[in-house]
Amino acid sequence: MRATLMYGAGDVRIENVPDPSLKHPTDALVRITASCVCGSDLHPYSSMKPEDGPARMGHEFIGIVEETGSEVTTLRRGDLVVAPFAISDNTCLFCREGLHTSCAHPQANFWDGEAEEGGQAEAVRVPLADGTLVKLPVAPDSTLIPSLLTLSDVLGTGHHAAVMGGVNARTSVTVIGDGAVGLMAVLAAKRLGAEQIVLMGRHTSRTDLGRSFGATDVIATRGEEGIEAVRALTNGHGTHVTLEAVGHMPAYQQAIGVTRPGGIISRVGVPQYEEAPIGFSSLFRHNIRLAGGPAPVRAYIEELMPDILDGTLTPGRVFDATTDLDGVPAAYQSMADRETLKALVTP
C-alpha cells in the first residue's frame, strides 16, 4: 500500500510500504477513506532532523473495518469507524475517568508513536480496536464525513481546552491561534455558553470563519499591543479563560498577559518548549491557574457526535482543501505557508 513518510524538515514523501497485518487478537485492520494533515504535523515539518526520520505520518482518520482479531467483539467487517489520535482500551482506570490519553494498557499509545502505522495512508492496523474505534452511523460518502473526521482530533481538542478552562455562560474567553484547533476552541466555547469570545489571529479568512463559529471580537495584533487590545475589551482586566492553541512560547506569554486575576490558561497547542514562566510575576501573583494537555478525544466523541449528526455543529468547515495521497506533500507546504487552513485527504 501507499503511505506518507516524513524524512526531515520539509521532506514529505508518498511511498509503498508493507500492507498492515494483525499482530494481536485485539487488532483491527481498517481501510482509510478520509484523513487529514494536522497543524501539529507542521512542528516536525519545520524542525525534524534527517536522522529522526523517516516517520509514518497521520493521526486522524475515518475508515472501513476490513478484518478483526479473534478478541474484537464490538466491530465487524464493513463498519465505518473514526479513530481518536490516541490508542486506548477504554476500560482501564484512567479511561474510566475520561483520561484516555493516559491509558494504562501496555499497547496504549499515540498514533505518532506507532512506528509502522499512520493515518495518512491507504490502510492501518488499529491496536485495541474495541476501545479505540467508534462506529459512525453514516455512509462513507456522507456529506458529514469532514465534520465527523474532526472528532478524531481538532473538535475534541478545542472542546477539551474549553472544558479544562471551565468555560460556561459566566466566563469571558480569549482564544489564541486561528488554526483549526483555535477555531474549534471558539466553537466549543460558544457551545458551552460563553457570550464574549475574543479570537486572536491575523488571517482574515480564518478569523471570519471564527466569527461564524461564535467569536465576538477579533484581535489581529500580537505581543503587548495584542494584550492591551484584549484588556481594552474587558475593562482592563483580561478574560476569565484563555485557550492557547498554538504551542509556541510567544503564545504562552500572550496568554499570561490576557488572563485576568483568578483566571485559567488552558493549553492544547503542543508545547514546543519545556520551561515557561510560572513564578510570582507571571502566574502566582494573580492566582492564575494553568490547565490543559493532550485531549482525551475518545471521551468526548459520544457527547459531540449528535450535534454533528443533527447539524447543530459544522466543524468540517475548517477543511478548505482536499487532496489524494499524491497531493499530501504539497498540502504540508501549503499549510506551512498558511495558504491552507486544514487539508482533507481522501486516499
What does the pLDDT look like over 78-129, one tens digit per residue? 999 999 999 999 999 999 999 999 999 999 999 999 999 999 999 999 999 9
Q: CB-side exposure of 59: number of CA atoms within 13 Å?
A: 20
- Look at the block and give the residue holding cell 503542543: 270
Contact 241, 171 (CB under 8 A): yes
- What pLDDT shows up at residue 157? 98
In angstroms, rounded to a whole number, what is the distance separating the alpha carbons of residues 142 and 158? 24
Q: pLDDT digit string (tens) for 314-334?
A: 999 999 999 999 999 999 999
Give the pLDDT confidence score for residue 198 in this predicted structure: 98
The pLDDT, as a whole number, for residue 256 is 98
Residue 123: its pLDDT value, please? Answer: 98
Residue-level pLDDT at 91: 98
* pTM of the predicted structure, to 2 decimals: 0.96
- Residue 303: pLDDT band with limits 50, 70, 90: very high
The whole-number pLDDT of residue 317 equals 98
Residue 313 cell numbers, joined: 455543529
Element (H or E) spanning 250, and its range? helix 249-258
What integer pLDDT is reported at residue 234 of this predicted model?
Answer: 96
pLDDT at site 81: 98
Read off the pLDDT of residues 3-53 as tens digits, 9 standing for 90 and up: 999 999 999 999 999 999 999 999 999 999 999 999 999 999 999 999 998
What's the pLDDT at 121? 98
The rounded distance, in Å, linking the Cα atoms of 42 and 87 is: 21
Q: What is the pLDDT of residue 252?
A: 97
Contact between residue 342 and residue 51 where contact means Cβ atoms under 8 Å apart: no
Residue 46, pLDDT score: 95
Q: Would you state the pLDDT for residue 160?
A: 98
Taking only the tens place, the pLDDT of each residue in 272-297 is 999 999 999 999 999 999 999 999 99
pLDDT tens digit sequence for 190-236: 999 999 999 999 999 999 999 999 999 999 999 999 999 999 999 99
**Do you know the residue count of the chain?**
347
Could you report the per-residue pLDDT of 147-177, keeping only the tens digit for each?
A: 999 999 999 999 999 999 999 999 999 999 9
Per-residue model confidence (pLDDT) at position 216: 98
Percent of residues, the chain, with pLDDT higher than 90: 99
